[in-house]
Structure 1
Amino acid sequence: MKQIIKGMPLIGPVATRLWRGIRPARPFSGSTDYWVSRYKAGGTSGDGSRNRLAEFKAEVVNGFVLSNGVEAVIEYGSGDGYQLGLANYPRYLGFDVSPKAVERCRKMFSGDATKRFKLVSEYAGETAPLTLSLDVIFHLVEDHVFDAYMRRLFDSSTRFVVIYSSNYDGEPDDAAQHVRHRMFSRWIDEHRPQWRLLAHVPNRYPYAGDTRTGSFCDFYIYGSQVQR
Structure 2
Amino acid sequence: MNSVQKIWENRYIIGGNSGAGSYGVLCDYKSKFINTFINDKNIKSMIEFGSGDGNQMEQFEIDNYIGLDISEYIINVCKQKYKDITNKNFITYDEYYKNSNKYDLAISLDVIYHLVEDVIYIKYMDDLFSSTNKFVIIYSTDWKEKYNGSHVYHRNFTKYIDVKFKNAKLIYHEPNKYPSLSTAEFYIYSINN
Q: TM-score, normalised by structure 2?
A: 0.95
Deviation (angstroms), 1:225: 2.0
Matches of 1:119 and 1:74 in 2, distance apart? 12
Larger Rg: 1
Percent of matched pairs sharing the same residue: 36
Q: TM-score, normalised by structure 1?
A: 0.80
Q: 1:153 aligns with which of 128, 131, 146?
A: 128
Q: 2:104 aligns with which of 126, 129, 154?
A: 129
Do the aligned partners of 1:36 and 1:99 also contact (CA within 8 Å) in 2? yes
Task: Give the match for residue 221 of structure 1.
Answer: 188
Matches of 2:81 and 2:39 in 1, distance apart? 24
Larger strand share, 1 or 2? 2
Matches of 1:166 and 1:223 in 2, distance apart? 19
User: Does 1:143 find its partner at 2:110?
Assistant: no
Task: Give the match for residue 22 of structure 2.
Answer: 49
Deviation (angstroms), 1:127: 1.7
Task: Give the match for residue 156 of structure 2.
Answer: 183
Task: Give the match for residue 167 of structure 1.
Answer: 142
Matches of 1:189 and 1:215 in 2, distance apart? 24
Task: Give the match for residue 51 of structure 2.
Answer: 78
- 1:81-133 C-alpha deviation (Å, 9 max, x unpaired): 11111111111011111122112211221111101111112212332010010
What secondary structure, in the 3-state scheme, does the structure 1 residue paired with 2:52 have? coil
Task: Give the match for residue 107 of structure 1.
Answer: 80
Instruction: Count matched residues.
Output: 190
Report runs of 4+ in structure 1 exceeding 4 Å deviation: none
Task: Give the match for residue 30 of structure 1.
Answer: 3
Matches of 2:72 and 2:3 in 1, distance apart? 16
Task: Give the match for residue 40 of structure 2.
Answer: 67
Structure 2 spans left out of the alignment, 5+ residues: none
Do the aligned partners of 1:81 and 1:108 also contact (CA within 8 Å) in 2? no
Structure 1 stretch 158-167 or stretch 102-111: which is displaced more? Answer: 102-111
Do the aligned partners of 1:97 and 1:121 also contact (CA within 8 Å) in 2? no
Deviation (angstroms), 1:171: 2.8
